[in-house]
Amino acid sequence: MEIGEYCYQYFGNQMKFHDAEGVCNRLGGFLPSIRNEEEGNTIYQLWKGLVNHPTQKDSAYWIGLRDTHQESKFEWTDGTPLEYYNWIPGQPDNNGGEDCVCVRNDGNNDDERQRWNDMRCDWGQAFFCRKPLN
Ligand SMILES: [Ca+2]
Ligand SMILES: [Ca+2]
């Protein structure tokens, strides 16, 4: 799907974070970075239009944020500076060693469901790839 300056592709098959990022890299893109509320909402609305049960608690998708290089120092895989956050209250908690971030789709309304949680990188999640249109 083309939206604004980007092309998005959704992968419903659950993959580990680094495998998902590898798929995106091979396509010439990255897992999406989210620079502001509008960008987060764009991706969330895309997701909502693609899945059958958008309120399903276990549904989540990776975004390109991780603190694998240094604990608690989160960085976007595409190099975007981290200037905007939308964590679920109490997150990130690094619970048992969580270094990769997904949109959790848990909550009572669209705003809450767009919030972020750090999770174990080797858990499988759906994901989007994003690349700039040229
Ligand atoms: Ca961590
Ligand atoms: Ca967490």
Instruction: State which H helix or E strand residue 12 sits in.
Output: strand 6-15
User: Nearest ligand to the C-alpha of residue 71?
Assistant: 1
Give the per-residue pLDDT at 48.
87
How many angstroms separate the alpha carbon of residue 119 from the centre of ligand 1? 8
Give the per-residue pLDDT at 125.
93
Give the per-residue pLDDT at 101.
98
- Alpha-carbon gap, residue 10 to 15, rounded angstroms: 12
How many angstroms separate the alpha carbon of residue 58 from the centre of ligand 1? 20
Whether pTM > 0.95 for this model: the answer is no
Per-residue tokens: 127: 């994901």
Q: Which residues pair with 62 in a beta bridge?
A: 102, 127
- Alpha-carbon gap, residue 2 to 42, rounded angstroms: 11
Give the per-residue pLDDT at 124.
94
Give the per-residue pLDDT at 57.
53
How many angstroms separate the alpha carbon of residue 86 from the centre of ligand 1? 16
Rounded mean pLDDT for each run of 10 residues along the chain, 134 residues in total: 92 95 98 96 91 67 97 98 96 97 90 95 96 89
Give the per-residue pLDDT at 107.
85
Domains annotated for the chain, with CATH where assigned, are: 2-132 (3.10.100.10)
Give the per-residue pLDDT at 56.
58
